[in-house]
Amino acid sequence: MTRVLLLLVAMLGWIPGCQSMSGQEFFEHYMNSEIGRPVSQSPIVSGREMRLLEGNKIEYIVQDKKTGCVLGFMADEKTNVIQSWHYISDPSVCRLHATAPW
C-alpha cells in the first residue's frame, strides 16, 4: 500500500524537488535512499539472494520479473549496511510500479 501511495504521489508531482525529475531520475533517487541503511531495515534488499564478493562485500540481487530489471546492492559484510547499488540489467527497463519488488 505504501509503494502504491508513493508511486501515485510521485506521478502527480506532489513531492517537492521531484517535479523536474524524469522517471529514471526518480527511480535512481529512490534507490539511492537505501544507501546507509542496514539490510535488515531495507524493504527492497532484506531477504534477497546474496553472494559474497572480494574485499568483505556482499552483493544482494533484486529482480523485477515483470520488467526484467535486475539490481545489485552492495553491503559491507561486517556491518551489513548498504553502501551502493548498480544496474545489472539494462537501466531502461527499470522503473517504479505498483507490483515492483521495491
Q: What's the rounded Cα separation, in Å, for the pair 61 and 53?
A: 12
Q: What is the pTM of this model?
A: 0.75
Asked if 85 and 75 count as a contact pair (C-beta separation under 8 A), the reply is no
Is residue 71 in some structural domain? Answer: yes
Residue 91, burial from CB neighbour count under 10 angstroms (0-12, 13-18, 19+): middle
Residue 86 maps to a domain: yes
26 lies in some domain: yes
Closest to 82 in 3D by CA, of 54, 52, 53, 57: 57
Q: How many domains does the chain have?
A: 1
Asked, for residue 101, whether it belongs to a domain, the answer is no
Tell me which residue range forms the domain holding 88: 2-93
Per-residue confidence band for 10, with pLDDT thresholds at 50, 70 and 90: low
Tens of pLDDT, residue by residue over 29-84, are 999 999 999 999 998 998 888 888 877 889 999 999 999 999 999 999 899 999 99
